[in-house]
Chains A and B, each alone.
Chain A
Amino acid sequence: MNDLLQKLTEAVGVSGDEKQVRLLIRDLIDGHVDEWRVDALGNLIALKKGSGASGLRVLVDAHMDEVGMMITGADSDGTLRFEAVGGISPPALLGKVVQVGPKQLPGMIGARPIHLLDAGQRNRNVKIDDMRIDIGAKKKEEAERKVSAGDRATFLTRYEESGRVALGKAFDNRAGCAALIELLRGEPFPFDLYAVFSVQEEVGLRGAQAAAFGVRPDVALVLESTPAYDLPNERDVSPNVVMGRGASLYVMDAGTIQDPRLVSHLMRTADDNNIPYQIRQPGGGGTNTAVIQRAGGAVSAATIATPTRYAHAPTSMINLDDFGHVVQLAQAALRNLDAAVLQR
């Protein structure tokens, strides 16, 4: 059982409220980093000093936050109104189990029984505005004693493994956090490595923007989770990311054109070390790379991700070998990262 992935994915940290995850990660990196600090937004920024062989300043980012919900109030019947924090599609919420507030109370997002639906209702998705979380309270006052407006909620999903596959919530992006922790647990790199466990990626890449300005790196690598849409699809335009095919390399997404020199370096490193990889389908989606690349001046930046099925849904799935290959590739690429890689 991958202890790291279990602890990280079961921790609760919806965008803007990442404290539990931040404290957990601080404990997990204890002894493996030389310094750490928390900035004004709650980013955890740790420094792993290098051997001194290289003067490069390298930032590796993994966002700590997960998508979830925010309670906005209680109805007179004791059920809770909520909004999505980050992008969650309504079908992923309807009929699911969540955990609410600092006490992590179990809550159910119920639905009208099918027996009582007419044809029109059966063929329409329920809007989030019409959904409610039921924690068992009978009246508004009772609900308000247990849960406050502004409290967050997230899916209640336990981590488990089945063969080479792992199931759980929030592989986006606790898989990235786990990979970064694995990097920190190794030997020092030739250069000073700034590990940024960033906040609020899911609500606009907010934490990384501030963190990158504070760190001012030369080179940055972002460790993420990327959707694998490898389900049956009649058109031969199936996007490229397939679970089990290895670490996913970004060339371009909606927010970033990754530095072609770093992308080449990653591909060469993977080839030289027989690490399976795949090119993530260009276009669409966004990561912290977008803001790190431009926050304080130009930065060479690239993104590696663990293919993930059903991100932003109650139960996501990854292949543990893919995860291992992401760590392996990041390790190898960083170890042989030097100024020559960035030459034009």
Chain B
Amino acid sequence: MDLFKTLQTLTETPGPSGQEAGIAMVIMEMWRPLADEVREDRIGNIVAVKRGKGDGPRPRLLLAAHMDEIALMVRQIVAYPSEKEGAEDEQAHGFLRVSRVGGVDLRHLYGQQIVVHGQRNLPGVIAALPTHMLPPDRGDKPYDLDELVADVGLPLGELRNLVSVGDFITFRQPLRRLLNNRVSGKALDNRASVAAVTVALDYLQKREHSWDVIAVATVQEETRLLGAFTSGYAEQPDLAVAIDVTFGKGPGAKESHLFELDGGPTLGLGPNVHPGIHEALKSAAETLEMTVHVEPHARASGTDAFGLQVARAGIPTGLVSIPLRYMHTMVETAALRDVRRAGRLLGEFAAQLDADFLEKTARKMMEAD
């Protein structure tokens, strides 16, 4: 499997939270040869089932990686000169005010390339007036949403015909290689994890497993963990593991509890993770002689694991994460090897699940340490 190419396709396909259709189709085709069935559920999650060996009914493991990316949405169409000054549509230049979709940091939007998904895809840039032309009392703060515009270079009339309030805007950034087998681009959060799940499904082509493995590419994690809550409810797995990115150590983020790139994936631990699943993931890492790191989460993990854990009457849940620098920028950076490691870890974990696992795990909840 050419992991760079896979990751490139995944990160460069638009799929903002709430409009994941584009990336959903790509993932569906990517997973089709690796699973027994692939379908889209009623909320837009992509669900692929790779059946285990042996007669049914078999216990079910769900692997969740969110496929949505942060983005923008057209909030209003504005003009220069403004309509108050009586400009005719044909003479005025048209611009778009935007609204955030997911946790977009306004500090680095200025100058970023974008695509407006109107009646056709329009390339453009996020722009603003230089600060010396704005009111002097605004101080040194970052540009806010009433100062920034999306500019696709069109006159007002034509813009109004092609774009409407509510249209999505995605960021534009190809995936690039850096030194040391690192990669950088947009939407590695969370297409890197989708790639990892793809690696896991590929691993399981050659490794026997008795449980059914259900890979889910979830929607709208960035906004409200929508796909996690709903897929946990719909698929009713016996176990679930979420795969997401975590904070990599680097410039602007040097704290000791963050993780080195290329040092291996992390395993979540804390209230959001079932201790039995954490242990089983650790065992799988040991089998592969893979270095993994414990990532304590004192409260919510901020990932799909939070939604999966309380679906229906609750699901034992685990969390595997890939260290990522500069999260939620368009220069997110990860180690390609960590992506592959995460995938192999998931595959081995799935393969090691046996018929007794659930019963043993439940028993441990009532046995003194």
Give the B-binding residues of A (Cβ under 8 A).
15-17, 19, 22-23, 26, 38-43, 69-73, 81, 83-86, 102, 148-150, 199-200, 203-204, 206-207, 209-211, 213-214
Interface of B is mostly: loop
User: Which residues of chain B from 270 to 327 have any CB-CB distance to chain A below 8 Å in the complex?
Assistant: 270-275, 294, 296, 298-300, 309-310, 312-316
Partner of A150, one of B274, B294, B299, B314: B294
Contacts A16-B273, A150-B296, A206-B271 known; list 14 others, CB within 8 Å: A15-B271, A16-B270, A16-B272, A17-B271, A22-B365, A23-B366, A73-B256, A85-B298, A86-B299, A102-B369, A149-B296, A150-B269, A200-B271, A213-B314
Please give the distance in Å from A109's CB to the nearest CB on chain B: 16
User: What are 5 inter-chain pairs, A to B, with CB distance below 8 A?
Assistant: A17-B275, A22-B365, A69-B298, A207-B314, A211-B313
Q: Considering only CB atoms, which chain A residue lies closest to B272 in the complex? A: A16
Give A83 to B294 CA distance when docked, in angstroms: 15
Q: What B residues does A204 contact at CB under 8 A?
A: 299-300
Taking a contact as CB atoms under 8 Å apart, the answer to whether B271 and A40 are in contact is: no
Partner of B310, one of A22, A41, A71: A41
Quick one: given A149-B269, A210-B313, are A84 and B298 in contact (CB under 8 Å)?
yes
Give A150 to B299 CA distance when docked, in angstroms: 11
Taking a contact as CB atoms under 8 Å apart, the answer to whether B309 and A206 are in contact is: yes
Taking a contact as CB atoms under 8 Å apart, the answer to whether B362 and A38 are in contact is: yes
Taking a contact as CB atoms under 8 Å apart, the answer to whether A70 and B270 are in contact is: yes
Taking a contact as CB atoms under 8 Å apart, the answer to whether B366 and A40 are in contact is: no
Please give the distance in Å from B75's CB to the nearest CB on chain A: 30
Taking a contact as CB atoms under 8 Å apart, the answer to whether A72 and B271 are in contact is: no
Taking a contact as CB atoms under 8 Å apart, the answer to whether A38 and B256 are in contact is: no
Quick one: given A23-B368, A150-B269, are A40 and B274 in contact (CB under 8 Å)?
yes
Taking a contact as CB atoms under 8 Å apart, the answer to whether A149 and B294 are in contact is: yes
Q: What A residues does B273 contact at CB under 8 A?
A: 16
Give A200 to B310 CA distance when docked, in angstroms: 11
Please give the distance in Å from A292's CB to the nearest CB on chain B: 13
Give A69 to B271 CA distance when docked, in angstroms: 12
Q: Which 4 A-B pairs have the closest CB atoms?
A: A16-B271, A210-B314, A214-B313, A40-B314
Give A202 to B256 CA distance when docked, in angstroms: 27
Please give the distance in Å from B338's CB to the nearest CB on chain A: 19
User: Is B257 close to A, CB under 8 A?
Assistant: yes
Give A17 to B278 CA distance when docked, in angstroms: 13
Taking a contact as CB atoms under 8 Å apart, the answer to whether B369 and A41 are in contact is: no
Taking a contact as CB atoms under 8 Å apart, the answer to whether B310 and A209 are in contact is: yes
Quick one: given A72-B257, A206-B310, are A40 and B315 in contact (CB under 8 Å)?
yes
Give A41 to B365 CA distance when docked, in angstroms: 9
Q: Considering only CB atoms, which chain B residue lies closest to A75 in the complex? A: B256
Give A298 to B315 CA distance when docked, in angstroms: 22
Q: What B residues does A72 contact at CB under 8 A?
A: 257, 296, 298
Question: B70-105 vs A: 1/0 string, CB under 8 Å?
Answer: 000000000000000000000000000000000000
